[in-house]
Structure formats: structure tokens, C-alpha cells
Amino acid sequence: MTEVETHGIERIPEEDRNATALDLFRVSFGGANTFATAFLGAFPILFGLSFWQGFAATVAGLTVGALLLAPMAVFGPTNGTNNAVSSSAHLGVHGRIVGSFLSLLTATAFFSISVWSSGDALVGGLNRLVGVPQEMGSFAVAYGIFGILVLIVCIFGFRFMLLVNKIAVTAATLLFIVGFIAFWGDLNLDFVGSFGTGLDGMGMAGFIPAFIGAALIVMSNPISFGAFLGDWARYIPTNTPKRKVMGAALLAQLATLVPFTFGLATASIIATKAPEFMDPAAPNYVGGLLAVSPAWYFVPLCLIALIGGMSTGATSLYGTGLDFSSVFPRFSRVQATLFIGVLAIIFIFVGRFGFNLVQSISTFATLIVTCTAPWMVVMIIGFIVRRGWYDADALQVFNRRQTGGRYWFNHGWNLRGMLSWLISAAVGLSLVNMPGQFQGPLGNLAGGVDISLPAALILAAVLYLGMLWIFPEPRAVFPAAGPRWVPSSDTPVPEVFGADGKVVNQERGDAARTATVDGTMAGTDEMAAQS
């Protein structure tokens, strides 16, 4: 458990893969069962919804996001590497850097949000408990402690992170349940927002944009895991049924209804008893929560902040270091983690004390999710049309500084996947409508409703399938059974050349392709068949 992980982005050997679908659940749920998620749960109230309207928006956003995320879990066990490397099959040997940088940016943003929210809660709780001053020095110490502890966990790697999350899943869930008990007397399920209490608010001006906006905020949480879900799933054996892996990812996100509901419930209490903390222009959920909490709950609140910050920070930063090493293979996983970790900690301090970037980071995270969602669509559709078959050796061409192979396409770029992602992401960004933060040039196209995410998702699916029909992919990228839904071409596949200019033997990939006629080698047809 405490040995430093040596594996990077190369394919994990089967003999080293002893993780389970339950482990994936623990890491995924542990990384989201945190104070930062509770803060996101407060947004429906900030948008003016009642408790039940907010709960409906939360369930809708969480369900859709979890269903979209679940298929992203299959790439890790199938290819034994992270999702960015797996994306080489659909965006090209060079195009896979899109997934790497999406993962880098997403993880850094959510790591920062986690440390900020947890650090503020810890300092605020200690202030009420023992009088620790809420000043720059106290916050600096809290952020520094979180940052260093998370960095240590990430350096040790997957096994140690799994141990931390095993503890976090149970402890944080129990502490949230204790929190429901603490606030039970003040719980206001009949809280009335700006649009009545139930379906009667649907006809009021502004309700639909508020409801959709709240659902999209919630939906962004599971989608944020899409780029680096394979970081943890790559340790699961290849022959693990895909339904179990997808089920673990799905249930992990649905289980976050606990912290989301905690945030929703406590936000309604704060809006009733201390409304000054729920000003949409400058919300202070942490301060409001401390203001309405009973004194005996300060200790559990501090523990949630500590455990949650460790869990979310570790899952985010681990993926960041792993992906950085995939883009710059000269860095080992440990070196990349140290480098990115130090930069992220510096970013946190500069953002907190040099600028007021909390709102900016929140906007930044939303924009990243808008770009990540269409990338996920390309990956999922690609998995299905390829019948779940991949040449795992050819996926490593970029990392080995080689050229050519099945996924070389057009000089290392698969324009079918690249253009589908690029156009969809650009359209999605242009439709973003975040009042007071960011609004794209087409933000008011739907009467103030932010339709950026659903538009990007639908457009990506239509464009990618259309590209695959109009410009069929080479026959060699599909298994012996051929493609599903789309045609293929007889385009020849270039040989793989090493960094020394010599041809690399491709027999391993050819043998694997032949062995997967019935999908038995990796169970790769299972997900596609179930879909």
C-alpha cells in the first residue's frame, strides 16, 4: 500500500492488475464525496429554486451526468492505460494530446477548488472552536497542509490513494449523515425560492433557465471525471465484465446525492436564517454553514474538510501528474506529479491571496467541462463502432516517440474525431451563459437558458457519426469482425518507425486483432453489445 508506484502510462501488465470494480467505486465516490460537492449542491438555492425544485434539478443533472460518464470507465481495463492515451485510437497519435490537456486543466481546477473550500471550512471551524484567527497566515497554513499531504499521497500512487479513499468513503458519508442530524431541527423542506415551491413555478419567467442552469452545474461534477477515469480503472483486469466497471462508475456518481443533498438542505437553512451569506453575486456558503451550525458539529465539519480535501485533491492531482508524464514521456510519473503539484500549490496561493480567483476558477471549470463532454462522446461512439477492440501496442506510439501504425491516420491526426470535437466544443463555448461571469456570443440564443452542454453533446454525436460515414476509417483499425454501424476503407496502414528510423515489428498487434474475432481476448464486444 505504501510502496511508490512505478507504473506510468505504459500498458499495465495483467499480473499487476489486481484492482476491482469496487475499488473503482471507492476512488470515484471518495473523490466526489466531499465538501466541494456539497458547495455545488447549494447552487439550486442560489439560482432561486425551492428545495424540491432544487432537488429535482439535482437528481436530473446527476443522473444524466453519471450515465454519460459510466462508459468512460471501460477504456482503462481494455487498454491498461489512461483515457488520454486510449483516445489515440479516435483522435490520432498526436491528437491524443487533447485528452491529456483536458485532463491537466480539469484536475488542476478541481484540485484548487477542493483545497480552497476545504481550507476555508477548516480555518472557519477552528476559529469557532478554539479561536484560530481567520487571517492570511491561517489560510496559508491550511492550504499548505492540504497541498503537501495530497502531494505525498499522489507520489506514493494508486494503491495508497485507494487506501485513503477507502477511509474517506466511509468516514465522509458518516459525517454527512451526522450533519443531517445536526441540522434536522432547522431543516426546511418547504423552503420557497423565487419560483414558488413546485411545478407551479414552471410558468414563471426565469424558472426554466434557473432549473437548467442548476442541473448543468450538478451535471458538470460527474463529467469532470471523464478525462481521467481511466487513471484508476487501468489497474482492473482486462477480463472484468464491462457492465461491472460501468456500474461502479455509475453508482459512484449516483451516491454523491448524499453530499449534493447536504449542500441543498443546508443552503436552504442558510437562506432562511442567514440570507446575507447567500447573495448570488458573492455567495459565502462556508461562512453561512458555520453561522447556522450547532457548536458540537464544528469538529465533524473540520473532519469533512480534512478528509474531503485529501480525497478530492488526491484523485485530481494523481491524474494530473500521470497525464503530464504522458505528454512529456521524459518525466516519470513521480517527477511529473512533483512538478505539477508544486505548480498547482503555487497557483492556489497566488489565486487566493494575489487575486480573487475563486469565481474565475468556477467559471474555468465550467468551460473545461463544456470542452470535455464532446470529447467523451467521440470516445464512446468510437468504442462502439470499433466493437471495443484496440491495438494496445499501437496506442503507445506517441509515448515511445515512434511514428506510423494503425492510429497514425493523417500525420498523427484523425481529422474525423478532431474536427467533431473541435467544432462541438467551439459551438458549446459560444452558447455558454453564466450571468456575471462568462457569456458566449450565442449565449442568449435560447432566451437566457444555458444550452451549451446539451448542444455540444448532440452536435459531437451527429458530426462524428457523419464523418465516419462520409470519410470511412481504415479497415485495420477495426477487429476482424469489422466495424459496427459505419463503413470502412481499404486505406493502407503505415509501418511503425522507431526514433532511430528503423521499422518496428507489428506482429503483436496483428496477432491481437486476429484473436479478437469473437471478442474473447478482452471481452471487448460486451459493452457494445449491451449498448
Question: What is the DSSP code string of 390-458?
Answer: --TTGGGTTTTT-B-STT-TBTTB-HHHHHHHHHHHHHHHHH-EETTTEE-TTTTTTTT---HHHHHHH
Q: Give yes or no for residue 83 having a pLDDT over 60.
A: yes
- Position 338 pLDDT exceeds 80: no
Least confident of 229-243, 267-281, 339-353: 339-353
Q: Does domain 14-530 have CATH number 3.40.50.11540?
A: no
Least trusted range by pLDDT, from 258-262, 367-371, 501-505? 501-505
pLDDT at 487: 95
Give the model's pLDDT for residue 474: 94
Residue 432 or 465, more confident:
465
Average model confidence (pLDDT) across the chain = 81
- What's residue 1's pLDDT? 47
Residue 365 has pLDDT above 50, yes or no: yes
Inter-residue contact 390 to 78 (CB < 8 Å): yes
- Per-residue model confidence (pLDDT) at position 82: 86
Q: What is the pLDDT of residues 505-522, one digit of tens each?
A: 654 445 445 444 333 334
* DSSP letters spanning 232-279: HHTTS-TTS-HHHHHHHHHHHHHTTHHHHHHHHHHHHHHHHH-GGGG-
> Could you tell me which residue, 242 or 197, shows the higher pLDDT?
242
Position with higher pLDDT, 296 vs 515: 296
| Residue 258 clears pLDDT 50, i.e. is over it | yes
Mean pLDDT of 358-387: 84
Helix extents (H) in 33-135 = 35-41, 43-46, 51-69, 75-79, 83-86, 88-91, 97-130
Q: What letter represents residue 380's amino acid?
A: I
Share of the chain above pLDDT 90, in %: 31
- Confidence check: pLDDT of 529 > 60: no
Give the C-alpha separation, 498 to 508, whole Å: 16
Contact 104, 320 (CB under 8 A): yes
Q: How confident is the model at residue 13 (pLDDT cuts 50, 70, 90)?
A: confident
Can you give the residue ranges of every domain in the chain?
14-530
CA 310 – CA 149 distance, rounded (Å): 7
pLDDT at 274: 87
Residue scoring higher pLDDT (423 or 156): 423
User: How confident is the model at residue 527, as a pLDDT?
Assistant: 40
Q: Which comes out higher in pLDDT, residue 434 or 299?
A: 299
CA distance linking residue 105 with residue 109, whole number of Å: 6
- Which uninterrupted H or E stretch holds 231? helix 230-233
* Model confidence at 3: pLDDT above 60: no
Lowest mean pLDDT among 204-208, 233-237, 291-295, 518-522: 518-522
Q: pLDDT at position 360, please?
A: 62
pLDDT band for position 8 (cuts 50, 70, 90): low
157-190 pLDDT, tens digit each: 666 666 776 777 778 888 889 989 999 988 888 8
Res 509: pLDDT: 47
| Arithmetic mean of pLDDT, 418-441 | 87
Query: What pLDDT is attached to residue 99?
Result: 86
Q: Is the pLDDT of residue 253 over 90?
A: yes
